[in-house]
Copies of this chain bind each other. A is one copy, B any other.
Amino acid sequence: MARTTIHDIAKELNTTAATVSRALNDHPSISTATKEAVRQAALRLNYQQNRTASSLRLGRTFVLGVIIPSAEISFFGSAVHGIEMVAKTQGYTVLLFQSNETQEDEARGVQTLLQSNVDGIIASIAKETTSLDHFLEIKRRNVPLILFDRATDELGVPTVVIDDYKGAYMATEHLIQQGYRRIAHISGPQHIKIFHERLRGYVDALKAYNFKIDGDLIIYGKVSIVTGRACAQQLLAMPNRPDAIFAVEDFTALGALQAIKESPWNKPGQIGVVGFANEAFSAYITPSLTTIDQQTALMGQEAANLFMDMKQEEHDPALPPRKIVLDPVLVIRQSSIRRATRGKLTKEENHLAPDHASHLP
């Protein structure tokens, strides 16, 4: 009934627990004969190591704590998948926590993970989090902390993010090259860095192609289907309506697409839309959504790798923490394809564009 321990094996072989332990851990100073005998007995008695006991003794658990806002966002699902892939190869287990986008749950998650003696924590910050105290506690306890995607430099910990600026630039440039001339942007709260960066990318892409920046074409939503739809409706009601929308992320883009479909300008290729995130649904909707892929699984892998590195080298605390920036990938689908394309446009050719833009259909 009771689970077999190394003592049971020792008794079986007329030896001691110490020898059994060493044998199982492949200690060099144990004869191959005994090692084999121990392994046999372990198998026969169906021995399974008690990790709790081992952890207590070793002071490490081989558990990696992960805190994500929500497992229902496929983005985080695949990031976790990436983390697990790396963790597995190094003998680590992943303990998952969902913050439900609240600071309260996030702080509780940190506490539980610390109590569980996880060897490290990989986290993506909740939307509603304003204070970073709970994360500081992790640092103070000398537990490795890595942030991914929703990261901040304030904590001075390693991070892995994608280049949001570049992704937004690529998205906007793609719309320009498709021939769209009045490109709007539905952004999100500017205190969240990734949204601010995406706005910058949008602006700079327009500038690079000599478009005038029109403040009316930039509106701020709360990053959801509903606000995406509302913002798009507002844009479409303008006298000088845009002919394309770059949305700050896919759910917002989805709402915008819905608004467009319900509008008079609902013919394919009439109003281009690009999102950001490559959420699972984006390939399935109609029209399928052009978007920026964030390399989520890779992001998870890199985060896990950063952790493994931290375990290795005692990183000099004076040095700045490592920061991995992944390249975004433009995924072109139907929503941004212009039917009658004007041909590719180079930056130099577009001196006239801003003027034309105002009397588009």
A-B residue pairs, 5 tightest by C-beta: A286-B286, A281-B281, A71-B77, A96-B96, A72-B77
User: Is A78 located at the chain interface by the 8 A CB criterion?
Assistant: yes
Q: Please determine whether B281 and A117 come into contact, CB atoms closer than 8 angstroms.
A: no
Tell me whether A95 is interfacial, beta carbon within 8 Å: yes
Q: For A96, what are the chain B residues with a Cβ–Cβ distance below 8 Å?
A: 80, 94-96
* B286 in contact with A49 (CB, 8 Å): no
Interface size on A, residues (CB 8 A): 41
Whether, in the assembled complex, A15 has its beta carbon less than 8 Å from a beta carbon of chain B, the answer is no
In the assembled complex, 20 residue pairs joining A and B whose CB atoms fall closer than 8 Å, in A order, are: A48-B114, A49-B115, A50-B117, A51-B115, A51-B116, A52-B55, A52-B116, A63-B116, A70-B77, A71-B71, A72-B74, A72-B81, A72-B280, A74-B77, A84-B98, A93-B95, A94-B95, A280-B281, A281-B281, A286-B286
B281 touches A285 (CB 8 A): yes
Which residues of chain B are within 8 angstroms of A131 by Cβ–Cβ distance? Answer: none
Distance A20 CA – B74 CA, assembled complex (angstroms):
45
In whole Å, how far is A357's beta carbon from the nearest beta carbon of chain B?
A: 29
Q: Is the CB of B51 within 8 A of A141?
A: no
* Chain B CB within 8 A of A340 CB: no
> 18 additional contacts, CB 8 Å, given A48-B114, A71-B77?
A48-B115, A50-B56, A51-B116, A52-B52, A52-B56, A52-B61, A52-B117, A70-B81, A71-B78, A72-B280, A74-B77, A77-B77, A93-B116, A95-B95, A280-B280, A280-B281, A284-B284, A286-B286
